[in-house]
């Protein structure tokens, strides 16, 4: 069963435009980002933005075969994108909390990639009859 994590990240005051721009730049570097996800064994990585009167928040959702290994591989990475992500986090992220998970269902089937294990074929999900 994959590991799942959600982080609620307070964006430092005045840094929301930088957050939006940086996430957009990752979309433009899709192949580089997907290589990093594959290397870390990530199945899903998503970002959401919430704008509130008291401040803005970034929600970071991941699903991976092994969260501790994925984090270790990420922390040891030396590629350009990962270095830029570290600078971005330092510049824009304030307090971080991890909400309590109550339910995590998915239809991800087949072999869950282990970090660093290379490409995996995704098995089709069969619809109920």
Residue-wise pLDDT tens for the chain (129 aa)? 788 999 999 999 999 999 999 999 999 999 999 999 999 999 999 999 999 999 999 999 999 989 999 999 999 999 999 999 999 999 999 999 999 999 988 887 555 555 555 444 443 434 444
Say how many C-beta atoms besides its own lie within 10 A of residue 127's C-beta. Answer: 6
The β-bridge partners of 50 are 57
Nearest CA to 60 out of 79, 75, 72, 45 is that of: 45
Give me the pLDDT at residue 120, please: 42
Nearest CA to 64 out of 116, 129, 22, 26 is that of: 116
What is the residue extent of each domain of the chain? 3-97
Please state the pTM of the whole predicted model. Answer: 0.79
The domain defined by 3-97 folds into Alpha-Beta Plaits (3.30.70)
Give me the pLDDT at residue 122, please: 41
Give the C-alpha distances (Å, rounded to integers) separating 53 from 13, 50, 124: 12, 10, 43
């Amino acid at each position: 069963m994959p590991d799942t994590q959600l982080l609620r990240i307070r964006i430092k005051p005045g840094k929301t435009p930088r957050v939006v721009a940086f996430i957009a730049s990752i979309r433009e570097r899709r192949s580089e980002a997907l290589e990093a996800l594959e290397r870390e064994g990530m199945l899903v990585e998503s970002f959401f933005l919430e704008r509130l009167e008291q401040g803005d928040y970034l929600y970071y959702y991941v699903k991976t075969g092994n969260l501790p290994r994925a984090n270790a591989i990420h922390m040891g990475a030396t590629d350009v994108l990962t270095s830029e992500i570290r600078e971005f986090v330092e510049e824009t992220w304030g307090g971080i909390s991890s909400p309590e998970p109550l339910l995590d269902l998915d239809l991800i089937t087949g072999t869950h990639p282990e970090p660093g294990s290379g490409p995996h074929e995704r098995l089709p999900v069969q619809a109920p009859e």
